[in-house]
């Protein structure tokens, strides 16, 4: 299943031998299980499902090698274009890309961010470089305000192989975080179930749920450096629950710096002295995906993609290290509510990929 950034509301599925001879509606339902059969039939009545660029009835039998396209939304003029957004490519070969995503950039088109996303940026960069049989598609995802490694495939075979590794949890992920307070132990394990937060004031909030409604969630941590009122810590998630690292660190009394949902809703502003002008600031939650270790989808060799922390993160750490004057600044980050029907469909599709909204 592929989302083409050239057409950010098209879902492309290639039929393999295991689905040969299956009804079209059943095939789409099998490859997009979180979209209802009723919705699939509605899409087909609107001619929004094609087989090899042809409109076919629900009863059509797909064949091995067919290309099935589901258009989740009819785009308006100009919405299918890429965007010339700077992208930091830290690794590239014929099959995969490693991107060091900047904080604040949404990874794929959603209701409030249809164009200025990482996928749009990648399409702009590669639209004239890749042959027609190849497509740029995300393998994993990180939250908008998290910086760091995002793995991208250039073809469906690479995507499928990498996805199996994520599903089998054989991919190692490492994050750097700056948290409030001093963590006493040098290393430890957080093994607390996560689910939707009870009595939440924001629909995106997650929480520790010991009532059976939470999913098993595990995070290892290693203290890298302690400062007066802060700790630099390496986080090693063994599961991929929504907001897992943020929820787990908050649960042990050390929320991320500048976390507007699970922390004190204040960033850090650094001064050389108490009377001077600020020299730098960290005004988004302090989480960076520093590396990703996996087996290459073609040669099978284990490899690691590293992404250096951005300036706001590294400057904050260096400011604490040097003992600069630190003041707290009120954040102005709003969790955006995405309610449109087509966006929910896209999010359901992405629910089948590694969902690292940490």
Query: Which tokens sit at 94?
Result: 């014929």
User: What's the CA gap between 152 and 128, in Å, rounded?
Assistant: 17
Residue 304 clears pLDDT 90, i.e. is over it: yes
Alpha helix locations (H) across 118-192? Answer: 118-126, 156-167
Q: Catalytic one among 143, 259, 312, 356?
A: 143
Over range 216-222, report the average pLDDT. Answer: 97
93 φ, ψ (degrees, to nearest 5): -140, -165
Torsion of CA 223, 226, 231, 237, to 10 degrees: -10
What class, spelled out in words, does domain 2-71 have in CATH? alpha beta
Pairing of strands 147-153, 287-295: parallel
Residues of the chain with CATH 3.10.290.10: 2-71
Average pLDDT of the chain? 84
User: What's the CA gap between 312 and 309, in Å, rounded?
Assistant: 8
**What is the sign of the dihedral through the CA atoms of 121, 110, 297 and 147?**
positive
User: What's the CA gap between 26 and 60, in Å, rounded?
Assistant: 10
Burial-class residue 209 by CB neighbours within 10 Å (0-12, 13-18, 19+): middle
Pick from 235, 90, 223, 238: which is nearest to 175 by CA? 235
pLDDT of residue 198: 85
* Structure-model confidence comparison of residues 127 and 281, the more confident one: 281
* Structure-model confidence comparison of residues 353 and 284, the more confident one: 284
Grade residue 42 by pLDDT with cuts at 50, 70 and 90.
Answer: confident
282 φ, ψ (degrees, to nearest 5): -125, 105
Long-range residue pairs from 52-60, CB within 8 A, at least 24 positions apart, any chain: 56/24, 57/24, 58/23, 58/24, 58/25, 59/23, 59/24, 59/25, 60/23, 60/24
Over range 211-233, report the average pLDDT. Answer: 95
Active site residue 143: yes
Q: Which fold has domain 172-344?
A: Pseudouridine synthase (3.30.2350)
* Structure-model confidence comparison of residues 148 and 117, the more confident one: 148
Residue 218 clears pLDDT 80, i.e. is over it: yes
Over range 7-30, report the average pLDDT. Answer: 81
pLDDT of residue 6: 42
pTM: 0.75
Residue 126 clears pLDDT 70, i.e. is over it: yes
pLDDT of residue 73: 58
Reduced to 3 states, what is the DSSP secondary structure of residue 159? Answer: helix
Residues of the chain with CATH 3.30.2350.10: 89-167, 172-344
Of 135-139, 150-154, 237-241, 311-315, minimum mean pLDDT range: 135-139
Residue 82 clears pLDDT 70, i.e. is over it: no
Residue 297 clears pLDDT 90, i.e. is over it: yes
Over range 114-130, report the average pLDDT. Answer: 82
User: What's the CA gap between 154 and 149, in Å, rounded?
Assistant: 16
Q: Which fold has domain 89-167?
A: Pseudouridine synthase (3.30.2350)
Query: Which tokens sit at 308?
Result: 């250096």
Query: Which tokens sit at 264?
Result: 């004190």
Residue 349 clears pLDDT 80, i.e. is over it: no
Residue 186 clears pLDDT 80, i.e. is over it: yes
How large is the angle between the packed helices 37-45 and 24-31, nearest 10 degrees? 130
Torsion of CA 197, 198, 203, 207, to 10 degrees: -10
Which residues pair with residue 79 across a beta bridge? none
Residue-wise DSSP of 262-278: TS-SEEEEEESSTTS-E
Percent of the chain with pLDDT over 90: 52
């Amino acid at each position: 299943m592929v989302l083409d950034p050239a057409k950010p509301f098209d879902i492309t599925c290639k039929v393999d031998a295991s689905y040969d001879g299956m009804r079209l509606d059943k095939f789409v339902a099998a490859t997009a299980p979180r979209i209802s059969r009723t919705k699939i039939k509605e899409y087909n009545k609107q001619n929004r499902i094609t087989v090899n660029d042809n409109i076919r009835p629900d009863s059509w039998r797909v064949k091995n090698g067919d290309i099935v396209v589901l258009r989740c939304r009819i785009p308006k003029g100009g919405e299918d274009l890429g965007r010339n957004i700077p992208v930091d490519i830290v690794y590239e070969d014929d099959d995969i890309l490693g991107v060091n995503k900047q904080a604040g950039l949404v990874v794929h088109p959603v209701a409030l961010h249809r164009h200025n996303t990482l996928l749009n940026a990648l399409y702009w960069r590669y639209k004239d470089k890749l042959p027609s049989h190849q497509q740029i598609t995300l393998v994993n995802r990180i939250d908008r305000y998290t910086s760091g490694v995002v793995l991208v495939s250039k073809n469906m075979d690479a995507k499928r192989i990498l996805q199996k590794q994520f599903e089998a949890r054989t991919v190692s992920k490492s994050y750097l975080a700056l948290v409030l307070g001093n963590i006493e132990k040098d290393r430890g394990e957080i093994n607390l179930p996560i689910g939707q937060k009870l009595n939440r004031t924001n629909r995106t909030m997650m929480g520790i749920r010991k009532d059976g409604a939470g999913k098993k969630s595990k995070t290892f941590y290693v203290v890298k450096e302690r400062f007066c009122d802060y700790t630099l810590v390496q986080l090693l998630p063994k599961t991929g629950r929504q907001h897992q690292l943020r929820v787990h660190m908050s649960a042990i009394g050390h929320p991320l710096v500048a976390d507007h949902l699970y922390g004190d809703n204040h960033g850090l502003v650094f001064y050389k002295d108490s009377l001077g002008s600020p020299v730098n600031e960290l005004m988004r939650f302090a989480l960076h995906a520093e590396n990703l270790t996996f087996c290459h989808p073609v040669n099978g060799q284990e490899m690691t993609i590293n992404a250096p922390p951005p300036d706001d993160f590294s400057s904050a750490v260096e400011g604490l290290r040097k003992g600069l004057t630190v003041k707290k600044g009120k954040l102005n980050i709003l969790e955006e509510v995405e309610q449109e029907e087509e966006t929910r469909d896209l999010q359901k599709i992405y629910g089948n990929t590694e969902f690292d909204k940490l």
